[in-house]
């Protein structure tokens, strides 16, 4: 089997490429390196000689994508390529719609127009499609109303609609196709072998932000809101380790059947508060971290975490890492040895 991984040089995409290579799959990775890292691809190519083809290119180039599908005999696509900053999407929505929506359409055009049309598609979606779930629907199940509150969340929901419509057109035409959406919560941690890590610019994810403060790369950590109706007054979120998230993608691909469109939430099924994250980082790193308490950010719900019942029942998926200290340790070990990310 040969799989095309779009956004393969990014944080989640590179970990997916690594897992597929370890499973003996041939991989073609496509990334425009806007926020992806060619270094991650070179490391994986060296570790798995002859089985990874990396191409710097854009998903908006449908001719390029179709050429890759035809040249390498692609059997399935894992689509990670997307801009993914909520705040940035509010400031620059057109870029998000162009990349996340038009880009997905470009990939689907290539899948349809290839000499051997691609029949399997795993879509990296997001829990942001739910917006702010009603209090009575937490933990969040797949039937929770999808009502995104940001352009980013809307692009992901539109992506799901596009895939549903595309799948229906293939079904009516009698052509094989199946797709699965993975709506995941806060992704965290790093490859436990130490080869790959998390390197964003700018960095907005809570765990690496706190770890950067532990490294002295930030003067403090902002604590936005301390009066939420939670046990310690700070927001609670679900954190899923990146390797567990990738495992869900692999399981989803293996479980597909022609004509099916499935959606699964991926998270550990419980939440950790911001204060718990900070204290866990202090415990793991054994370093002091300055915290500056600030006002709440608009739109932050007090508590959001996942109900993994469906993904466990249908895919047999269970998170392998739920201990917060172990999750943070996997990220810390990479950051200590790569204080400048993939640059050094």
User: How far, in Å, CA of 58 to CA of 61, rounded?
Assistant: 6
* Residues in a beta bridge with 30: 6, 55
Spell out the residues 6+ positions from residue 84 whose beta carbon is closer than 8 angstroms to its own: 126, 152
User: How far, in Å, CA of 67 to CA of 285, rounded?
Assistant: 47
Active site residue 342: no
Over its C-alpha atoms, the chain yields an Rg (Å, rounded) of 20
152, 184, 228, 239: which is the annotated catalytic residue? 152
Q: Which helix (H) or strand (E) holds 55?
A: strand 52-56
> How many residues does the structure list for the chain?
344
Spell out the residues 6+ positions from residue 148 whose beta carbon is closer than 8 angstroms to its own: 128, 129, 130, 131, 154, 156, 157
The HSE-up count of residue 216 (CA atoms within 13 Å, CB side) is 3
**Which amino acids are annotated catalytic?**
152
């Amino acid at each position: 089997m040969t799989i095309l991984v779009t956004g393969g040089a990014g944080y989640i995409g590179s970990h997916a490429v690594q897992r597929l290579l370890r499973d003996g799959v041939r991989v073609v990775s496509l990334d425009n390196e806007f926020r992806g890292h060619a270094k991650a691809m070179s490391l994986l190519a060296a570790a798995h000689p002859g089985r990874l083809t990396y191409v710097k290119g854009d998903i908006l180039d449908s001719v390029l994508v179709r050429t890759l599908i035809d040249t390498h005999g692609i059997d399935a696509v894992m689509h990670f390529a997307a801009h993914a900053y909520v705040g940035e999407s509010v400031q620059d929505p057109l870029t998000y719609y162009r990349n996340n929506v038009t880009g997905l359409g470009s990939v689907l055009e290539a899948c349809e127009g290839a000499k051997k049309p691609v029949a399997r598609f795993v879509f990296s979606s997001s829990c942001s499609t739910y917006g702010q779930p009603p209090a009575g629907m937490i933990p969040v199940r797949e039937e929770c109303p999808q009502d995104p509150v940001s352009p980013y969340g809307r692009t992901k929901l539109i992506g799901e609609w596009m895939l549903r419509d595309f799948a229906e057109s293939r079904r009516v035409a009698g052509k094989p196709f199946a797709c699965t959406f993975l709506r995941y919560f806060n992704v965290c941690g790093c490859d436990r072998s130490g080869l790959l890590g998390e390197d964003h610019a700018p960095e907005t994810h809570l765990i690496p932000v706190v770890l950067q403060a532990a490294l002295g790369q930030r003067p403090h950590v902002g604590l936005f809101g301390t009066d939420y109706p939670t046990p310690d007054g700070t927001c609670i979120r679900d954190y899923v380790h990146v390797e567990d998230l990738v495992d869900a993608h692999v399981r989803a691909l293996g479980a597909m059947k022609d004509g099916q469109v499935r959606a699964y939430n991926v998270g550990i099924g419980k939440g950790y508060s911001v204060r718990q994250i900070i204290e866990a980082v202090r415990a793991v790193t054994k370093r002091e971290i300055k915290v500056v308490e600030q006002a709440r950010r608009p739109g932050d719900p007090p508590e959001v975490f996942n109900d993994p019942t469906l993904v466990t029942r249908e895919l047999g998926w269970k998170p392998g890492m739920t201990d917060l200290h172990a999750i943070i340790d996997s990220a810390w070990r990479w950051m200590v040895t790569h204080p400048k990310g993939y640059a050094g």
